[in-house]
Structure 1
Amino acid sequence: MSHTESSAVSLARLSGYLAPVVTLGGILLAIVVSPSFSWSESALSDLGVAASTALLFNGGLVVGGLLGLPYAYALWHDGPGGLGRLTPLSFALAVTAMGLVGVFVSGTPLHFPVALSFYLLVSTTLALDGLARWSAREGRVAALLGVAHLVGWVVWVSGVRFGTGLAVPETVGAVVFATWVLGLSPAGLLSSRVR
C-alpha cells in the first residue's frame, strides 16, 4: 500500500471514529438541555423539533453522517472481500439515512422512512459484517448485535416497552452502532487489521 493510500485509510478511520462521538454527543447534549425530554414518553427525534434542542440534535446527526461516509472506504479497505464488500455499502447507506433524520425532522413526510431505514440498515450492516467475518470473534459478535437489535425492535413493536416513547430502543440502536463502528467493525479499534 502506498503512503498516500495509507494516509487516506487512516483519515477515513479517524473520520469514522469521530462520527459516533459527534452524533451521540449531540444527542446527549440535547437531552440534557431539553426541558421536556422523557425516556419513557419521548422519541429522540422530538429533540430535533424543539427550538432549544434542534440544532444540537439535528446538527449532531448531519455532521455525524457526513463524518461517517469516509469510513465506508476504511471498511472497504480493511474488510474481507466477497460478501464483506456489502458491509461498506450498507454502512454508507446507514449513515446517509442517519444524517437525513436530522434533515427531515419529526413531523415531516420523509422522517419516518429515513428513520426506519437507518435502524434497519444498522441491523443489516452488522449482520452482513458478521456473516462475512463469521470466523472472527468480532464478526460473530457483530452478527449477534445485529440480530439482537432487530429483535429488540420486534419486541418493542409487539408492545413490550418502557412507555409510549421510542427513546430507549432508539438509544440502544445508536449505542450498538457506535460500538460496532468504534470497536467491532473491520476498521474498528479492536480489529487485528488496525492494531
Structure 2
Amino acid sequence: MRKSQLQAGLVAPLVAYSGILTAIYVNRSWWKLTDNAISDLGKVGLSNKWLLNVPLVVTAALAIYYAAGLLETARNSIEKAGTGMLIAGFAFLALIGIFPEGTSPHYYVSWCFFLTAGFGFLIAGVGMGLAGERGMLYFTVALFVLAWILSVWAMRTFRGVAIPEFVGALTITVWHYVVLLKFWGDEYAALRAHKD
C-alpha cells in the first residue's frame, strides 16, 4: 500500500467528523441528537447544507483511495470481497452528499452506505481471520454484533435515527483505524528491518 493511501485513510474520518460536528454546532438551535438524523444537517433548502455534504464527498474520495490500497493487499477472495463492499459503501457515502435529504435517492443511498460498509468490514475481517489473523476475526465479529445490538436498541428508544447512525459510523471508523494501525506498524517494522 502506498504511503499516500495510508495518509488518506488517516485523514478521511477526520474530515467527515469535522464536517458533521461543525454542521451540528451551526444548526444547534433546531437539531437534536435524539430527534433528528445526521442527514437533516444537509437537507435540501438548508442554506448551510454544504457544511455536511461537501465533507462527506471528500471523505468518500479519500476512503476509496485508501481502500483501493487495502484491496491490493488482500490475501484471499473473502478479504477482497469485503474490501470491495467497503469501497461500494464509500461510494454510497459520496452519494449521500450528492443526493441530500429531500432528494428521491437519498433514503436508498443512506441505507446502502450503512449496509454495504457494515457488512463489508465484517466480511473483510473474516477474510483476515482466514489469512491467519485470528485476533482480527474475533475483534471484527464482536464489534459488528455490538454495533447491531446498540443500533437496534437506539432505533427502538429514540425518535430520530442520529444515534444509530453514529453507532454505525463510529463502528466502521474504529475497525478502519485498527486495520490502519496494523499497516502503519507493518511499514514501520519494514523500515526498521531495512535500516538494520
Identify the residue that residue 56 of structure 1 maps to in structure 2. Answer: 51
Amino acid paired to 2:35? E
Residue equivalent to 1:46: 40
Q: Does the CA contact (< 8 Å) of 1:46 and 1:106 recur in 2?
A: yes
Which residue identity lines up with residue 51 of structure 2 in the other structure? Answer: L
Between the aligned partners of 2:144 and 2:118, the Cα distance in structure 1 is: 4
Q: Which of 65, 77, 80 is matched with 1:70 structurally?
A: 65
Moved more, 146-155 or 61-70: 146-155
SS class of match (1:74): helix
- The one-character-per-residue Cα deviations of 1:53-97 (angstroms, maximum 9, x if unpaired) are 411110111110111111122212333223111122111101111
* 2:138 corresponding residue in structure 1: 140
User: 2:15 matched to 1:17?
Assistant: no
* Inter-partner Cα distance in structure 2 for 1:71 and 1:140: 23
Measured after TM superposition, the shift of residue 39 of structure 1 is: 0.8
The match for 1:190 among 178, 182, 186 is 182
- Checking the alignment, whether the CA contact within 8 Å between 2:33 and 2:160 is kept in structure 1 is yes
Whether contact under 8 Å (1:48, 1:57) holds in the other structure is yes
Cα displacement (A) at 1:52 = 4.9
Which entry has the higher C-alpha Rg, 1 or 2? Answer: 2
The residue aligned with 2:113 is: 118
**Is 1:180 aligned to residue 175 of structure 2?**
yes
Shifted more, 130-139 versus 167-176: the winner is 130-139
Greater mean alpha carbon deviation, residues 126-135 or residues 147-156: 147-156
Structure with more helix by fraction: 2
- Relative to structure 1, is the Cα distance of residues 152 and 16 closer, same or farther in structure 2, using a 3 angstrom cutoff? same
Judge which range, 15-24 or 76-85, deviates more. 76-85
Q: Give the deviation of 1:127 after TM superposition.
A: 1.1
Tell me the amino acid that sits aligned with residue 170 of structure 2: V
One-letter amino acid matched to 1:189:
L
Q: Which amino acid aligns with 1:120?
A: L
State the partner residue of 1:27: 20
Between the two proteins, the alignment pairs up a number of residues equal to 182
- The aligned counterpart of 2:30 is 36
Query: SS at the partner of 1:189?
Result: helix
Tell me how far 1:133 sits from its aligned partner: 1.9
**Kindly, what percent of the aligned residue pairs are identical?**
26
Partner SS for 1:40: coil
Structure 2 residue 98 is the aligned partner of structure 1 residue 98: no
